[in-house]
Structure 1
Amino acid sequence: MLTRALIVVLVILNLGVALWWMLRGEPAAAPPAAPIGVAQLQLLPGDAVTPVAATAAPEAAAPALADVTPAPEPAPAPAAPAAPTPPTTPTPKAAVAAVPAPVASTPPPPAAAGPAQCLSLGPFADRAAAQAAQAKAGGALRGARLREVADAGATRYRVLLPSAPSREEAQATVKRIVAAGLSDYYIIGQGEEANAIALGQYRNREGAERRMAALSAAGFNARLVPSGGDGSAQWWVDATLATPADAASARQRSGAAQQRSLDCARVR
């Protein structure tokens, strides 16, 4: 009897649920979600709408639109992981490179000076004219000295060694001359120059002076004997050029008519 009553109750409940399910209607569809950042249209209450507002231009109703959508908050940027700190290792003292001291620049060595060049400027009629020419040359000459030529009009020049006390001594001097590598000599046998040694005869003074310089370098004190002249004297300026290869400029500044090369050993 009880079982039958429970079955009847269950049947009634099932029928009621089925009836409610058929009579409840279709569920209202949920409004779609509004996009982010777009203003939503809100309906005002009916009593707030006036005929003027209903017939207003779309521009007048524009202020009624209000964006009530909350702005999305920017997502926090993920924190960058901290770079690992490399372990510090003590630097040994031997590994520290020494900073080299600045090296002072060494000036280039001065250029080697060329060989000295000497000359004679002249001829001048007297000592005063030679001194004036030396002053005009100025710094173009160094170590200048005046030299007098006793017989400037000579036509030939002889180089002689003084007369020896005897012929034997003269012959001993000749042996020394030969040992020095010199030639062109003879012993004068008679006259005022007996036992003198003649070492050449020259038509110009420069050749005779070169012969005397070679004899002087070998240790012989020879003398120059001019002949065939009128006995007039001339003066010359012997000097070393301050600037080599500038002989023409020195001659023009001094006003000399001639210039002659000179052995610098005779100037010192």
Structure 2
Amino acid sequence: MRVLFVLLVLFNLGYLGFVLWSDAPSSPSAAISPVSVDRPDVPLLQRLGEQQPPAPGSQVQASTWGCFSLGPFDDDLVARRALLDWEAAGARGMIRPAQAARPASYWVILPPHDGSQGAAAARQRLNDEGVDDHYVITEGEHEQGLSLGLFSSKERARRRQVQIQGLGLGLEPRVMTRYREQTVYWVDLEIHRALDVDARPAVGPGLHWQARVCP
């Protein structure tokens, strides 16, 4: 009996050893993570020396490139020529259409004064001076004023204003600018800070710069 008891103990110990051995890793490399844990907060590629490009809007990018819009251009072809000039100088850019209120015509009016009676009196005084190309405005904010002409250029409207003032009738006509929406064009540019000032294309009259956020 004692011999049988010893054999059972030895058998159980052997079986326990076999189970523990089978649960162990097959090789030391299988238990090691392929990513270093020395700096878990730093991406692996960066730790291997492969630097990532600066994110848009970062301080690194902002110190290298500046983003601006030049315009507005009334003519698409003129805007494209400007873009080509800047690209030849080393900038990057694109054309961006937009809507803007632009002067369409110039209206010379005599503001309303004393209602319909004032309009009739002013008309009579003008007629007496041989000026008959006018009419009474019948609606809108200038109702009961006089329309003295609608012109495509501000210079011609100004001449009409001076003519009426020069009659000596004490009338003070105004030039009102009338607007309409039309398409204009902006040149959106990314300009390298190192671009020499002398290499930058000239900016035409009527154009201005607007700073913008780099994409």
TM category (shorter chain) comes to: 0.3 to 0.5
Name which structure has the greater RCO, CA cutoff 8 Å, separation 6+.
2
**Structure with a larger share of its residues in strand:** 2
- State TM-score, norm by structure 2: 0.35
- State TM-score, norm by structure 1: 0.29
Question: Of the two, which has the highest radius of gyration?
Answer: 1
